[in-house]
Structure 1
Amino acid sequence: MSKYQDIANDIEKKIIEKKYINKLPEQVVLAQKYHTSRVTIIHALKILQDRKLIHAVKGHGTYISAKPIPKIFLNSGVAQNDGFTKHTHDSKKLVSKVISFNIRKPTDKEKEAFNLSENEDVYDIIRLRILNSEPIKLEYTVMPVNRIPGLNLDILHKSIYSYIENKLGIKIGKDERLITADKPDAYDIKYLNCTSNDPILCVKQKAYFENGTPFELSESRNRYDRGGLTVNKG
């Protein structure tokens, strides 16, 4: 993530936490605070304008938009693959509710995707992610047992990616994602508290370790009004 994106996310966090009320500091002051150039600050403010969090008044400065900011709205980058937990600010309370956790034999599609034999097992996980007491997304995850040994309910209630990197010492690499719009199914309606007419943002992902070994097939089903994905041109 670029520096101006980091700065934009930090300013957004401060707006949500009410550390900035009504108006942002001058661009020169922000540049000094973040030890960067005014040009970088301008890029960061443009991101916040696109998110409709702020607006500029010529000759008067940059004001925080009057429209209330949902405390449970979360924006993350399409290219970011460091786990959902890392994208929640300290001001937001993330809870992972485990709906189901099983170990089973892989399907033919999963054997091909992970290059597994018939005798190897996979974890089959469904989790509901809850932010500030509001349901955000349903996650359906399949992972080979032999590549992520020791997964248990305690880890699932926290962060799988943190366990992989910090406990197992394995670096997480790239991923492949397919992002589509979908109609809600029965689980979406039940767990995400949405109606049959609400659209669902569906993200299917295949994730790899840094050495190129695939370790995750997942599908996350997101409420349309409580999150977003930012696409940045490289």
Structure 2
Amino acid sequence: MSRYQEIASDIEKDIIEKKYTKQLPEQFELAKKYDTSRVTIVHALKILQDKKLIKTVKGHGTFITTKSIPDIFLNSGVNEHNGFTRHVNSAAFHLISHVIAFNIRKPSADERKALNLDKNDDVYDIIRQRVLNGKPAKLEYTVMPVKRIPGITLDILHKSVYSYIQNDLGLKIGKDNRVITAEKSDAYDMKYLDCLRDDPVLCIHQKAFLEDGRPFELSETRNRYDRGALTVNGD
């Protein structure tokens, strides 16, 4: 691994561990920290920018971004059932949830567009790890509007958010849109899914709607290639 790749990996881990939350230090500060040249830092930041983890604003610095939202979600309506379902046999599998992060923040421009929100609205920002039979299997990133799904707590996140929405809030869940991609593992996957650097990861990007058509969830689920499965129905 080259020096700039090592630096990119180290900065990525610092982002994961919330050492950097909004903005990275200036390039000259990073060069001093890693005892290297600014050219090497520029190459390292380019790797992170290609992963959509950061963006550079000329004259203002380098900012940490949220995970990107597929274009199909920004203007999509409610599609017909797409035929993807997940099955867990409780007799054979034991699936538990660990909450890695749970925050309330303002939505990004793309999130506002996808969820039909105003800039002053709040969203939940949730990261959960799913552990199957004692082994990490899935990593879930979820964004939900607070005003549309009020009252989410850590206790609810350890159980079922969808059950809370339907049984406690009395809302009916409608259709969803999904984009499925295959990617190489990133630093989050290596940390929370025990992936190696080049392990494949199955990614499901979802935009979910209430029955009345209001979008209430943007999520990305990253699945280890060797744990868990998706079943495709021929409906």
Settle same-fold status: TM greater than 0.5: yes
Letter in 1 for 2:89: H
- 1: CA distance between counterparts of 2:98 and 2:221? 14
Match of 1:88 in 2: 88
Identical aligned residues as a percent: 64
- 1: CA distance between counterparts of 2:158 and 2:228? 21
Secondary structure (helix, strand or coil) at the match of 1:137 reads strand
Letter in 2 for 1:230: T
- 1: CA distance between counterparts of 2:183 and 2:94? 27
Matched, 1:79 2:83: yes
- 1: CA distance between counterparts of 2:227 and 2:179? 19
Match of 1:60 in 2: none
- Report how far residue 119 of structure 1 moved: 1.2
Match of 2:21 in 1: none
Letter in 2 for 1:153: L
- 2: CA distance between counterparts of 1:193 and 1:102? 24
Match of 1:232 in 2: 233
- 1: CA distance between counterparts of 2:233 and 2:116? 32
Secondary structure (helix, strand or coil) at the match of 2:113 reads helix
- 2: CA distance between counterparts of 1:101 and 1:202? 21
Letter in 2 for 1:179: I
- Report how far residue 78 of structure 1 moved: 6.0
- 2: CA distance between counterparts of 1:200 and 1:90? 24
Matched, 1:124 2:122: no
- 2: CA distance between counterparts of 1:180 and 1:90? 28
Kept after mapping to 1: 8 A contact 2:173/2:210: yes
Kept after mapping to 2: 8 A contact 1:172/1:209: yes
Kept after mapping to 1: 8 A contact 2:83/2:234: no
- 2: CA distance between counterparts of 1:192 and 1:212? 34
Match of 1:182 in 2: 183
Stretches of structure 2 lacking an aligned partner (at least 5 in a row): 1-80
CA RMSD of aligned residues (A): 1.6
* Bigger CA radius of gyration: 1
Normalising by structure 1, we get a TM-score of 0.63
- 1: CA distance between counterparts of 2:152 and 2:114? 20
- Report how far residue 115 of structure 1 moved: 1.0
Secondary structure (helix, strand or coil) at the match of 2:180 reads strand
Kept after mapping to 1: 8 A contact 2:178/2:207: yes
- 1: CA distance between counterparts of 2:159 and 2:178? 23
Stretches of structure 1 lacking an aligned partner (at least 5 in a row): 1-76
Match of 1:30 in 2: none
Match of 1:173 in 2: 174
- 2: CA distance between counterparts of 1:93 and 1:230? 18
Deviation readout 1:81-106 (Å, 9 max, x if unpaired): 6xx6xx32222222110000000001
- 2: CA distance between counterparts of 1:143 and 1:105? 11
Query: Are the structure 2 counterparts of residues 197 and 78 from structure 1 closer, same or farther at C-alpha, using a change threshold of 3 Å?
Result: farther
- Report how far residue 197 of structure 1 moved: 2.0
- 2: CA distance between counterparts of 1:151 and 1:159? 10
Which stretches of structure 1, 4 residues or longer, exceed 3 Å deviation after superposition?
none
| Aligned 1:73-222 pairs, distance under 5 A | 79-80=83-84, 87-91=87-91, 92-222=93-223
